[in-house]
Structure 1
């Protein structure tokens, strides 16, 4: 059963182009700054904003070990944002948040290992963050928090999204000042931002006596090996630098002599930044960052990607479903803890699995409270996202899932309790205690419990099928119900995947890489415009790691830990995505094309736990947008090799298809990714207006959409747009479900404005009830029959006939109602 889981030389002229570095790495999605904000004049902003002076900012502190990314993002930014929303003071421990809480899950139990704040934000988005009161540790690099109530309190401190803001031009600088001023929403206090630099080679000087802030430190340069994080808390346009010695202070003169006026030439203005090296750095932890340093990339002594990173936090969040579990394991880095659910109470394994970015083969042998590794520890997980897959108010089966990966048989563990709590109009808990379930070595351990759950689900209001003539424009306003508004809409450029056994397509063509000789990334010109997530590409970049990129060479963000997040946050196609070796004579990369397809073939050595293994991997891009992977031998994907992620991604951390062959039969050697087929000019704005223009005759398109509520819970739906002649459409498809016990849905089509009569009869021909008797416009409709007669009495079980009259057309079907 397939389960759902929530993530060259002269011959080449004209065919290949050398890859050029355009940026340092893939950012998270740009913040959706509204056009009216972009048009705001800088005259509407004050000359200075300093949010560190607000009560929301915490005291300056000294980070522990290499936790700089978490110190800046959790210790400073997250603390400030939560306090700003709740109007609380950052002076008190209960209103501050511990950098070491996410860091300890991700640092491989080393105080010298840095971890990207991109990775730690995933933990805060998934399960929240406790306060310093619940996690008070400041000199600990390995401890996990123990105690369900602590995790539950932490779940209510939440970030739902993180974004990037590009500051490499004048508009970006202005937008950042606007954000610092009013948070883009007119708030009395603005928002903070984090950014990445290289601390090795970082220097600051001091402003002269005639300056606006004499004696204050200001940054002059950073190093080139990016890895340290800092926090922007404000700006000061009174800070000025006469960089060319002309006695003037300008932002519109070419001061660096490159004949271009850009941010590199700015002499007026600086951001106010804070470091996490205690009050001995700068002036009590503070320094000025001149705007012009955003004109340099990190490898040039400037700022990584010329960008800053911000978050969207929520004032209050209440989980609907939580998991509580108590267990022990002597090697906690060898286990992964997940949640699952099945609608069938008798199921023996979950239909849907919810993974978490923590408790994911992380950590070592000690809790933060110095408990021994063989003692029990208790955790809590927010499993509210599982409500998207279960029946409301019906018995379903929840699962605690523990995977163990312990090749040396060093670890042992036990599950002692498992519960699921439902917070909906109060607290309803089901807790299994007194368990003694051993964690199975090198396998999956499941513990299940059956219970009902009540909740409000985000649901897309069904839209009738839209009939249109070829070339006509179609517009539809989408709506949603349930959970917490406001809602945000997005198109789902989804890919369907299919696994199969296929002969390996040996091909050569043009040699891109030969036994270690050649570029690690090579830009290839395709014979057609390749459609990928709604955008068309004539060029792609082929890497030695069996990846296909769509932008010039990209680097991983600093301190990357979660390789699956790298896939989700980069626009790419990944047929393997981990380093491959090319030291044998026949280790090569080939490219071959035709009018309808382009094939890349990698012949390399794959590292596995059983030693290096020769592999052949192929990826075929088809003109129609389909993508197919081939593997000559899949043994290397089934031999306990370190985590890998295959798939396709739009790079926005939302639209991606991530898969693996590890749970497939070893004979399966091919994966086909088929894209959604959308009408031309399909667009969906954030407010739910959908626009498209179907250009193919006799075609029915399915446009998949997703809506997110204010807490990032989602609902999905589809809009069908058809250019099929309505007169040829089946006016009465079979009801669903059928057979049915309670109620059933009946869909019917009205090809043109007509009188419609929809009735239910029994087998004796007696009319049971009339569902529709009116004139309707051309569209698709749906009604619910609850199994009652005209007066509203239960009609009982049996076989019924549904009959419809639409104008001159007639149709009917039989349906069965059971107990």
Structure 2
């Protein structure tokens, strides 16, 4: 009875509170109890939506599709779940994302118990980078991105408690940062739990991490706990009767929590008809789906101490996962999970000591150049920490003179992607100060890199106590040859493919640290055009909204883009073209890189019809042109006029009108959306755009229909025959170091490539490449009638070496002198030797050189 009364008091107290996302309030009805702080989630920005859109959605592996799950799972009973605790201030997102979720997942990977401080991770390490130095809000994925880049210290290294030093402290001490680098997030995923399919994925994650593990995972989510929030108890006579259950969340999303289990049997009578059903349309929308379910729910853990719910836990129903915010659902019907690195050791780090009296004026960047004579990096590495953060405070967040100075460590291992092992390279530390009023002052006291590839070697920069340039970039550098084991793609060639037939081939790599993640590296070439802005007389399109709206439109041709053919496009009011029927936040170079898109001028734009703004389309089978005339959101005086032309051969042209407003933040480019294959326009984010400027993006040759999986399977159904492409593959190892390799992919007509690479005859030729003669050799397993022919890349017969010749079991060889059937030397290039018998064919690639 006491628990029920407590819950009712909580609901009454919440209904008396009116606050926005950024307000913090103690919602515990017991004034003497633990504080229940709500309001710790900051409002999401367009950049947040861009990041969230780019996250991969967790899927059940094909070999794990059929599985009988238990009716309930509770991972709070696992040793990897740390004891319930009470967050400090508005740190709910880091309490959920780091205190519970990261602690659980990395302890699970390592098989250690979370009930000791050594195996717990502090909320305030990440929160203090994110809260503006004044206890502001954050999201759990903010903290995960920091840990993904630079790791996280455990609670003892942080200072002995999860909130040691309060909400402003930044940790000082290289050793503590270095220890933290070993504790990293590996991958972040989303799950749409608003559908039965997504719920099934989530339950499988809870059950066994989707991989047959002895324990499952947990997940983070956001929801509203103000105003219309309603928590009560599960009805008498039902499973888990009397336990706390949330049956409605408020639409003002202001709190982060953690899902730790599920129970298919708990029940709540939402429509008060005296029964519990999942097969009745209780909301009257003529559709029976999860929004009608009254049976089943998930268990959540809160960070409001043991006085919340049942010792810190409560349930919420499956129905609440599917409902919209205004009907009591969780934020976005989406939850997020992480995978962590069981073991990780940085290869190369920065150690630096910096003094400054206003830390939110500084951004720290690392860089590298393979050219040791260069005075600037060729490639950069930014961090989601030490990035204009922490408020206008001293570096450590305190107020004493010693708090101005901080010693930190940064993991710069990913920079090894851009250099060769054992070769001298120049490594940069850059401090970028954004301080136009010359408010803050400071210096780089010391800078060194530490190489862990073979023991421990510190290379100290000779320059010390270097004044940080006001409102500018200050660079220091050291030269070092790092002997490291770099990942290398070992696949030397790809089997020949047949057009319109399914193709699949596993690529291989070695070196570095497994596992490897694979991708294409496809770059469009950009050329400047000459000409004027095109006249468009086509139809004016009507987007779903003049601000953050979209409209889809069919094409009159098949448009090839990064290996896929598209018959329709989606046009965004923010100035970009995408290929999914939904709005996406594409407004910056970073968001271009993370989305498959085409953008001539993207920003936070808006259509003002009264100013003749709009989007127009004109096209036929020879091409399409999309014209944008827009203004900036809430700034109707801004004028932007651009056009994008698309062609059946995949070429793209950007056009810019006259008198485009200067000085705006904007971006332009084309991207595959995987973070690897993209081309940012040379003009992107320029202060001023020349009148009637135009540029062309030349489509790289790429086989339509082909893809690569994250584990390195090159697959698909090529559509073109007798064609070759040079494809660049990218393999990234566990340490985020990658390598590139370009391989030739060839399609030949069906008669040629049947049973290619069967190796049944061990067919080969030596030498290869050859210039004068090459010896074609093979070994017969049985007596056979054999034909040997030479073909070119177009599938044309060049030379018949033998035709139906009877050969006995054993080794045989034939000489080809490079002549065709007329006795004339063939041109240098690629040819195929096809050996055929009664029931099989084998092919080997032959290269003729000068």
Quote the offset at 1:452 in angstroms. Answer: 1.0
Instruction: Name the CA shift for 1:545/1:171 in 2 (closer, same or farther; >3 Å).
Output: closer
Conserved in 2, the CA contact under 8 Å of 1:648 and 1:656? yes
The answer to whether structure 1 residue 118 and structure 2 residue 129 are counterparts is no
Residue equivalent to 1:452: 481
Tell me the SS of whatever aligns to 1:104: helix
1:770-813 CA-to-partner distances (Å, cap 9, x unmatched) read: 99988599999xxxxxxxxxxxxxxxxxxxxxxx9965569999
Residue 215 of structure 1, CA deviation: 2.2
| Residues 639 and 659, structure 2, Cα contact 8 Å, conserved in 1 | no
3-state SS of 1:224 partner = strand
Larger Rg: 2
Matched, 1:405 2:473: no
Counterparts of 1:162-311 in structure 2 under 5 Å?
162-200=188-226, 201-244=228-271, 248-311=275-338
Residue 656 (structure 1) shift = 4.9
Residue 754 of structure 1: how far off its partner (Å): 4.2
For residues 715-734 of structure 1, the C-alpha deviation after alignment (integer angstroms, 9 at most, x for no partner) is 33233123589xxxxxxxxx
Q: TM-score, normalised by structure 2?
A: 0.75
Q: CA deviation at 1:158?
A: 0.6
Unmatched 5+ residue regions in structure 1?
A: 1-22, 726-751, 761-769, 781-803, 814-819
Alpha-carbon distance in 1 for matches of 2:680, 2:166: 34
Cα distance in 2 between the residues matched to 1:184 and 1:514: 43
Measured after TM superposition, the shift of residue 122 of structure 1 is 2.0
Is 1:91 the counterpart of 2:115? The answer is yes
| Alignment correspondent of 2:604 | 579
Change (3 A) 1:621 1:277: farther
Given the superposition, is the C-alpha separation of residues 126 and 203 from structure 1 closer, same or farther in structure 2, using an over 3 Å criterion? same
**Structure 1 residue 322 displacement after superposition:** 0.9
Match of 1:598 in 2: 624
Q: Would the alpha carbon gap of residues 772 and 305 (structure 1) be closer, same or farther in structure 2, given more than 3 Å must change?
A: farther
SS for the counterpart of 2:81 is coil
Q: Deviations over 1:589-644 (max 9, x none)?
A: 231322233333334455999x975443333333333334344479967x4x55x5
Moved more, 354-363 or 79-88: 354-363
- Residue 156 (structure 1) shift: 0.7
Distance in 1 (CA, whole Å) between partners of 2:356 and 2:736 is: 33
Distance 2:615 2:583 in 1: 21
| Alignment partners' CA distance in 2, 1:290 and 1:353 | 46
Measured after TM superposition, the shift of residue 680 of structure 1 is 3.5
Instruction: Determine which of 689, 696, 700 is the counterpart of 2:713.
Output: 689
1:271: Cα distance to partner?
Answer: 0.8
Query: Aligned-residue CA RMSD in angstroms?
Result: 4.0
- How do residues 36-185 of structure 1 correspond to structure 2 at under 5 angstroms? 36-42=63-69, 45=70, 47-112=71-136, 114-136=137-159, 137=163, 140-185=166-211
Contact map agreement 1:127 1:155 (CA 8 A) in 2: yes
Contact 1:525 1:539 in 2 (8 A): yes
Quote how far apart the aligned CAs of 1:525 are: 1.3
Counterpart Cα distance in 2 of 1:475 and 1:555: 32
Larger relative contact order, structure 1 or 2 (CA cutoff 8 Å, min sep 6): 1
Residues 501/126 of structure 1: CA separation in 2 closer, same or farther (3 Å cut): farther
8 Å CA contact retained: 2:605, 2:631: yes
Shift of 1:127: 1.2
The change in CA–CA distance for 1:631 and 1:68 in structure 2 (over 3 A counts) is farther
> CA 1:170/1:670 → structure 2, altered by over 3 Å: closer, same or farther?
same
Q: 1:268 to 1:660 in 2, by over 3 A?
A: farther
TM-aligned CA deviation for residue 210 of structure 1: 2.4
Is the CA contact (8 Å cut-off) linking 1:591 and 1:598 kept in structure 2? no
Report the Cα offset of residue 255 of structure 1.
Answer: 4.1
CA distance in 1, matches of 2:773, 2:111: 54
SS class of match (1:172): helix
Match of 2:649 among 611, 621, 624: 624
Is residue 509 from structure 1 mapped to residue 537 from structure 2 by the alignment? yes
Question: Is 2:669 aligned against 1:647?
Answer: yes
Q: Distance in 1 between matches of 2:791 and 2:432?
A: 49
Deviation for aligned residue 1:193: 0.7
Pairwise CA distance, 1:277: 2.9
Task: Give TM-score scaled by structure 1 length.
Answer: 0.78
* Structure 1 counterpart of 2:512: 483
In structure 2, C-alpha distance between the alignment counterparts of 1:659 and 1:91, rounded to whole Å = 52
Deviation of the 1:341 alpha carbon: 1.1
What SS does the aligned partner of 1:123 have?
Answer: helix
State the SS of the aligned residue for 1:236.
strand
1:629–1:810: structure 2 CA closer, same or farther, 3 Å change rule?
closer
* Higher mean C-alpha displacement, 275-284 vs 135-144: 135-144
Residue 805 of structure 2: aligned partner: none
Pair 636,695 (structure 1): closer, same or farther in 2 beyond 3 Å:
same
Structure 1 counterpart SS, 2:232:
strand
Classify 1:651/1:282 alpha carbon distance in 2 versus 1 (closer, same or farther; 3 Å).
farther
- Structure 2 portions without partners, runs of 5+: 1-49, 750-762, 779-787, 793-814, 820-824, 830-850
